[in-house]
Amino acid sequence: MEIRHLQALITVAEADSFADAAELLFITPAAVSQQIRQLEEELDLQLFDRSLRPPRLNTMGESLLERARKLVEEFDDFKSTATESTIRGRLSIGSINGITPSLLPETLRSLVRRYPQVRVRIEEGQSQILMRRVMRKELDAAIVSDVTELPESMERIPIFSEPLVVISDLTKNPQSWREALEADHFIRLNRNAGLGIQIDKALKQFHLNVDEAMELDSTDSIVQMTLAGLGSGIVPMGRVSPEVARNLRIFPFGEPQVHRHVVLVQRKGTSSSELSQLLYQELQSQLAERT
């Protein structure tokens, strides 16, 4: 018995006719009929009622259909495992600070479990620095805030987008995002960071004059300083947990609301791009589980 015979059985059952199944399998109807005949001879069973037009699965065929599906699924899993075991190599990845603790641990654990021959090295940094290191071939790829144009030799793959919010201490009770920023000290993100550059551009676009009190490297630090009543800041919504949110005034930043876009950047056509794609797939799986 060959796996293609089981695949033919499943496809005929789902397509409702040998002719339609042939189109889905990219073979001729005669070839489909031959595969079904060979399966029936192997099992010494009749699986179709050929007195009907088009032929339909009989009771025996129906009873074996689900088992055939499971066998094909198990074979596909086996084939996938065999393929995964041959994937090996080293991948050097850069990541901005906010992503490393929040998304990468589970992503990397899943990646190395699935591809045990892949070795991953992680380096944290600011978006601009990480992108330059990818261009200089010091990193294979980087997870960064998408704020700049890339040279022709590089490409970006979108990972996710998230809204930016203005956060303020509850006791100050601002009534709008503009008031929260203009009537209080401003706690800014490092102006050389990718997100910091984006926030600076947005402040200028909205013609906001802010009283800068601090410049910090981490959005988590901005949240903590705001909770302490030392000013207001701008952070991605994902950096504000539900527990923390209860102690803050939170407003959408901008009209329309500004979003931060996180992307994977890499050089085009490199030997490591296949490994980068595997990392991207794991990132998407982790994000899907969180929605």
Instruction: Report whether 166 contacts 208 (CB < 8 A).
Output: no
Q: Tell me the β-bridge partners of 250.
A: 167
Domain regions of the chain by residue span: 3-84, 88-160+261-290, 163-260
Residue-wise pLDDT for 160-218, tens only, equals 999 999 999 998 889 999 999 999 999 999 988 889 999 999 999 999 999 999 999 98
Fold of 163-260: D-Maltodextrin-Binding Protein; domain 2 (3.40.190)
- With cut-offs at 50, 70 and 90, classify the pLDDT of residue 81: low
Q: Residue 52 has which token pair? A: 């009907």
Domains 88-160+261-290 and 163-260 share a fold: yes
Residues 193, 200: Cα–Cα separation, whole Å: 10
Nearest-10 Cα torsion for 229, 234, 238, 241: 10
Residues 28, 45: Cα–Cα separation, whole Å: 23
Q: Among residues 92, 130, 106, 77, which one has the least CA distance to residue 263? A: 130
CATH class of 88-160+261-290: alpha beta
Residue-wise pLDDT for 206-257, tens only, equals 999 999 999 999 899 999 999 999 999 999 998 898 999 999 999 999 999 9
Q: What is the pTM of this model?
A: 0.65
Domain 3-84, CATH: 1.10.10.10
DSSP labels, 92-137:
EEEE-TTHHHHTHHHHHHHHHHH-TEEEEEEEE--HHHHHHHHHTT
